[in-house]
Amino acid sequence: MKTAEPARMDIAQLHRIEYEAPPEVIVSAPGVVRLIGEHTANADGCFLALPFNHRLAIALSPRRDSSIRFYAADLNERKRTNISNLKYKREDRWSNYVKGALAIRAAEGSLSRGFNITLWGDIPMDLGLGSAAALTCVAVRAVAIATGVDHGDEALERDVVAVDRLYFERQSRVSDYLATIRSSEFTLIHVDAGTAKTEAIPLPFGSTRVLLTDSRVPRPPVDTELATRTADCAKGLSILGGASKGLRAYDINDLEEYMGIMPEHIRRHCSFYLDEILRVREAKEAALHGDLLSFSKTLNRSQTGLRNHYEISCPEVDWLVKRSLEIDGVHASRLTGKGFGGCIVTILENDSIDEYRQRLDEYERIFGFKPVVWDIEPGSGMMIH
């Protein structure tokens, strides 16, 4: 993890104003947009992600008593508790992540005093852009440093999963956090969810721009739908008879041999998985060779798979992607995040941005949703300031 002077001193100033004391620890982490492969991760697949220049930061200073005070500066919200009352509460929302990090240290007996805590961030929330992962990671790392038990990235990876399992009582994998923890400055990161190995990949974008566009489509809870698709891949693997090898050991020809035996929806979802694994490989190779054209074509084929085979797109997103790709200078446009709405990521030339925004005006007239656009740049990894 990089140690550096703060990219933003605002959180130190906000903390000092709020608590009349300077912070002892500041840690920040980037937002992460998964460019391709994210929907294979729960079945030990691979994905390519881009850390970008929206960040979330936490600042801590010790107290003399057992009180814990929280201040979310970007939300202008305050909460409080103490070290003997770190239980999860639905109404505490964002502060639960910090309480989870504190609870891990309390269980070890290393939490003996309270803290004043400030949070600030500009990562778009609830869009699959890494805001929750960033909050968990900065909270765990900052609390570990402040309590004198920081043991580096390996311990951080262990502890973020422990927060999920022990505090939130939900299952997660270390691969859910690797793009946040191990990303480095101005590179893509390739994450293998099956082996937990990562690799820094050169950026293939050249002078192009990267836009995130929130479709603003209201989404129902989608976790059940996504879990069903992961289960379908597991069923397909079982039918293939290779539970010990994993679905990645097969290819499309193997699925064709089970035509008529394997239920069509299972075959379709497994087909997406196997094709996507190959596409991630192709995108990685294209990036390594600085081949933006091939990289973009691969992302576009992935979007077709998300729509036709994995079935997690929606008419509004399909419209945005199709109309974007009609514009000269737009190289790629693809759904990112959980799906059924949410964001698209678009790679385009600078001269194409005005026409792209005009298409968004047309989108609003047709669908009634006013999209939100972020012009993002490659960012840095986690930092201790």
pLDDT digits (tens, 9 = 90+) for 177-199: 999 999 999 999 999 999 999 99
Q: Of 202, 233, 254, which closes a domain?
A: 202
pLDDT at 259: 82
243 located within any domain:
yes
41 located within any domain:
yes
Q: Of 147, 179, 202, which closes a domain?
A: 202
Nearest to 142 by CA among 108, 200, 97: 97
DSSP annotation of 359? H
> Do 196 and 325 sit in the same domain of this protein?
no
Burial class (CB in 10 A: 0-12, 13-18, 19+), 6: middle
Confidence of residue 242 (pLDDT cuts 50, 70, 90): confident
26 within 8 A of 6, measured Cβ to Cβ: yes
> Do 162 and 40 sit in the same domain of this protein?
yes
What residues make up the domain containing 115? 2-202
Q: What angle do CA 256, 259, 261 make, to 5 degrees?
A: 135
> Do 305 and 165 sit in the same domain of this protein?
no
Query: Is pTM beyond 0.75 here?
Result: yes
6 has pLDDT over 90: no
pLDDT digits (tens, 9 = 90+) for 56-99: 999 999 999 999 999 999 999 999 999 999 999 999 999 999 99
In CATH, what number is assigned to the domain containing residue 341? Answer: 3.30.70.890
pLDDT at 281: 97
Across the chain, mean pLDDT equals 94
> Do 128 and 82 sit in the same domain of this protein?
yes
pLDDT at 346: 98
pLDDT at 8: 45
Share of residues in the chain with pLDDT > 90 (%): 89
Q: Of 171, 202, 233, which closes a domain?
A: 202
What would the mean pLDDT of 31-59 be, rounded to a whole number?
96
pLDDT digits (tens, 9 = 90+) for 260-297: 889 999 999 999 999 999 999 999 999 999 999 999 99
> Do 217 and 164 sit in the same domain of this protein?
no
Confidence of residue 152 (pLDDT cuts 50, 70, 90): confident
- List, as own/partner pairs, every contact residues 90-99 make where C-beta atoms lie below 8 angstroms and the sequence separation is at least 24, other chains included: 94/119, 94/135, 95/70, 96/167, 96/168, 97/132, 97/135, 97/136, 97/139, 97/163, 98/58, 98/70, 98/135, 98/139, 98/143, 99/68, 99/167
* Number of domains making up the chain: 2
